[in-house]
Amino acid sequence: MRNKVFIIASIFMVAINLPFAGKAQNPIIQTKYTADPAPLVFNDTVFLYTSHDEDDGLGFKMQNWLLYTSTDMVNWTDHGVVASLKDFKWVPYDNGAWAPQCIRRNNKFYMYCPMPNGVGIGVLVSDTPYGPFKDPIGKPLIKNSAHDIDPTVLIDDDGQAYLYWGNPNLYYVRLNEDMVSYSGEIVNEPTKPANYQEGPWVWKRNGHYYLAYASTCCPEGIGYAMSNSPTGPWEYKGMIMEGDERSSGNHPGIIDYKGRSYVFGFNYAILKQSMSKHYERRSICLENITYNADGTIQKLPFWSTTGIKQLGTLNPYNRIEAETIAYSEGLKTESATEWERNVAWDKGKKIADRLFVTSINNGDYLKVQGVNFSKGATSVDVSIASLKGGKIEIHTDKIDGPVLGIIDVTTSAEGDLWKTITTPVKNIKGVHDLYFVFRGTNELFNFDWWKFNFK
């Protein structure tokens, strides 16, 4: 049961109406290390499946796959772990959850996952893009060679599906309609581009077939080839992005969404903010791509810091999960199982798994972009589980911009007891970026969601 704690504050009837910037920041995920982006467009939403570099890994330590969603390409909502190596009972390892891809067919979602050490490529299936995903065959879908990594799937206009994969060779096979079996021989593609290394991504656009990939290591750029057929021959066309010493690896994911074209990849920018040594801790980035009239793709510079423009705005009168973030510093996200407790405070029935923002220390912040205050605002609700207590300053349009309101978290040592705090705010109209800036001693509280009210 969530209790409401009302903190009284003075209300300043001052209208805040500064211009809306509308630009994103790279990397687009900051609360975890993410790599190998696999975007999927479904129901007007981008579902971004990623691999996950654990914080304590010195090399590649990857145990699960994550999911993020967005409808504006700027604010990304963390949905936590969507699948893991544990979902494959036949895999004897707890490390090696490498580059996946998820695709929809016949109202089901199929997630293709490579396994380490030549174990093969597995497949999971779910009725929703959020999971839960289950292994329908209990064995590898592909077990061909030590090159069985980085799967990507294309479903052609005639309904035939193809699975591609491989490092340093490029393989493909025709999938059956059930998407969990295949027919015919596995083909070692003879016309792969000379600088192909790994991470293939295959798609079709305006009658052209495209193969993008991580180019010869190291550093890896993103090259691409084109064909008139899903099975080649492939003709090298150039680089979408050259390799750069700032990022030894790369892995493309390319989509069209709301009339624009995008390429996802990764760099090491979040790692380099805090560490001088190189570890495999990567962070996903995003840029627009432009097609020429003949279908070729214009080359991009290395990942920018500003990223791409926002599509649409965020509605502050809906409950917004705190893990919906355009940019943040110092924060992590975490999930915990919530239990219905009895009078003796023993564990009772499981209610849900709650995902929230944690590791909140003095000076940390999160930014949400393009918040549309079409009806004004009189107060804000926030859901908090207090550790030491502290304050949340809500600034508009920049981290030291006008203060919209200050939320006092006066309780402490409550751990997993979640409370809703309601605080008056200044009147505000228009579209703004919001910065939730945290003040106090370290390990302040956990933050679940927020919502603005108007009267």
Is residue 263 located within the same domain as residue 391?
A: no
- Mean pLDDT to the nearest integer, 202-218: 95
pLDDT at 346 over 60: no
**Does residue 351 surpass a pLDDT of 60?**
no
> Is 86 part of a structural domain of the chain?
yes
Choose one of 252, 272, 288: the last residue of a domain.
288
Please check whether residues 88 and 200 belong to one and the same domain: yes
Residues 325 and 369: their CA atoms lie apart, in Å, by 8
Do both 271 and 124 map to the same domain?
Answer: yes
Say yes or no: 180 and 277 in one domain. yes
Are 257 and 360 in a shared domain? no
The mean predicted confidence, pLDDT, of the chain is 90
Task: Indicate if 419 and 331 belong to the same structural domain.
Answer: yes
Sheet holding 161-165, edge to edge: 152-155, 161-165, 171-175, 182-188
Domain of 347, CATH number, reads 2.60.120.260
d(CA 438, CA 409): 11
At 58, which CATH number? 2.115.10.20
Q: Report which residue type is found at 225.
A: A
Q: Above 60 in pLDDT, residue 61? A: yes
Same domain, 375 and 402: yes
Q: What is the pLDDT of residue 57?
A: 62
Which of residues 273, 288, 303 is at a domain's end? 288
Same domain? 139 vs 43: yes
Q: Of 238, 253, 288, which residue constitutes the final position of a domain? A: 288
Whether residue 25 lies inside any domain: the answer is: no
| CA–CA gap between residue 240 and residue 212 (Å, rounded) | 8
Query: Average pLDDT, stretch 47-58?
Result: 88
> In the predicted model, is pLDDT for residue 119 greater than 80?
yes
pLDDT tier for residue 17 given thresholds of 50, 70 and 90: very low
Element housing 370 (H / E): strand 365-373
The answer as to whether 295 is a domain residue is: no
Q: Report the amino acid identity of residue 332.
A: K
* 261 and 351 belong to one structural domain: no
Per the listing, tokens 């550093």 go with 219
For 262-324, the DSSP string reads: EEEEEESHHHHHH-SS--S--EEEEEE--B-TTS-BPPB-SPPSS--B--S-B-TTS-EETTE
Do 39 and 123 sit in the same domain of this protein?
yes
> pLDDT band at 22, cuts 50/70/90?
low
Distance of CA 61 to the CA centre of its chain: 18
Residue 15: its pLDDT value, please? 34
Q: Is residue 443 part of a domain?
A: yes
Q: How many domains is the chain built from?
A: 2
**CA-CA distance, 222 to 196, in Å (whole number)?**
9
> Is the model's pLDDT at 84 over the cut of 70?
yes
Q: Is the peptide bond before 219 cis (omega within 30 degrees of 0)?
A: yes
Domain annotation covers residue 296: no
What are the tokens at 15? 């209208």
Q: How far apart are CA 136 and CA 180, in angstroms?
A: 8
Mean pLDDT of 118-127: 96
User: Same domain, yes or no, for 16 and 38?
Assistant: no
Mean of the pLDDT values across residues 145-171? 96
Residue 142: inside a domain: yes
How many other C-beta atoms can be found within 10 angstroms of the C-beta atom of residue 207?
8
Which residue did the predictor score with more confidence, 31 or 18? 31
CA distance 247 to 266: 8
Whether 293 is in a domain gets the answer: no
pLDDT for 45 equals 98
This prediction has a pTM of 0.91
**Going by DSSP bridges, is the β-strand pair 3-6/419-424 parallel, antiparallel, or unpaired?**
parallel
Residue 3 banded pLDDT, cuts 50, 70, 90: very low
Cα radius of gyration rounded to whole Å, the chain: 23
How far apart CA 46 and CA 48 sit, in angstroms, is: 6
Q: Is pLDDT at 19 greater than 80 in this prediction?
A: no
**In this predicted model, what pLDDT tens digit does every residue of 252-267 receive, in sequence order?**
999 999 999 999 998 8
Both 176 and 267 in a single domain? Answer: yes
Tell me the residue range of the domain where 321 lies: 3-20+312-453
301 is a domain residue:
no
- What region, left, alpha or beta, does residue 452 occupy, with left being phi > 0 and alpha being psi -120 to 50 degrees? beta
> Is residue 41 scored above 70 in pLDDT?
yes
Q: pLDDT-derived band of residue 315, with 50, 70 and 90 as boundaries?
A: very high
